Structure 1
Amino acid sequence: MKFRIKKINSAKPVPYWYRIICHFEKKGYIANGLTIPFLIGARPTIEPGQSLLSVEELVHEVSQYGATIMRCGYLDEYVLGSLDQETEAISEYYKKFDKLVVTDDSFSDKKSIDEVEIFLEAIYRPVISANYYSKENGEWRDFSEREFNCLKELQ
């Protein structure tokens, strides 16, 4: 499978979080996607001088740009992945919030992107407030040296 960075509007740059997802997928670092705290915490490495997005801001941006979301069984967390052509082609069979495609039964009780944003904000705001961005062995923590080096590949 080829991973391509898509551009919805050539005048608009590809969001930093989408570049991270595509890079990590292409390199084989991830299988299903990256957690919301990971993508939020990675911003200063990818875009020095820029402030962290809130969970609500990230999820809103993702819903406008396009990506997938699912519950990762390994991490027991929600992860965002790239919206590849195969998934986009069958996206009519999945629940969608604008351009955010839910590839499992997560959010079946949510009726709007606002409800999804509020739900995810409640889960991940405390994690991010503690400066934890990565989860390993069931515990949230800061980035590992390996993860930080993988992010620096995008600089």
Structure 2
Amino acid sequence: MTRPVPHARAAYPYHHPTPTRWADNDVYGHVNNVTYYSYFDTAVNAYLAARGALDVQGGAVIGLVVETGCAFFAPAAFPDLLSVGVRVAQLGRSSVRYELAIFREGEAAACAQGHFVHVYVDRATRRPVALPPALRAALAPLAVGEAG
């Protein structure tokens, strides 16, 4: 298997500031691997909420994660100041592939990068639905690759 290469900060059109917390460190003195997924989720949902494309409490359409992955290149640890780069690699009828990267303050190369796929579904039935226009419009500025 070919090892991925860390992406550059400039490869991501949106960056969400993410300070580490004391509780993010594990017994080995660095941010625990599962915490990166929390950073990813927070960055995407903060972006969508700020643009009116996510109504957590009452929206008729919700995104369910169906796939995730992450590659680690260098450790981060409290009290690092991080940013999460967000881009959209694929924009389908009812799904979105987000690609994300973690950058330490002042560093151009990612210390970790990953992806997750949301399938957007009707909140009540959990059946896939077409991406709402507001969501599609919010994601357009993040589109690269197949989505761009």
TM-score by structure 2 length? Answer: 0.24
Structure with the largest fraction of helix: 1
Higher relative contact order (CA 8 A, sep 6+): 2
Structure with the largest fraction of strand: 2
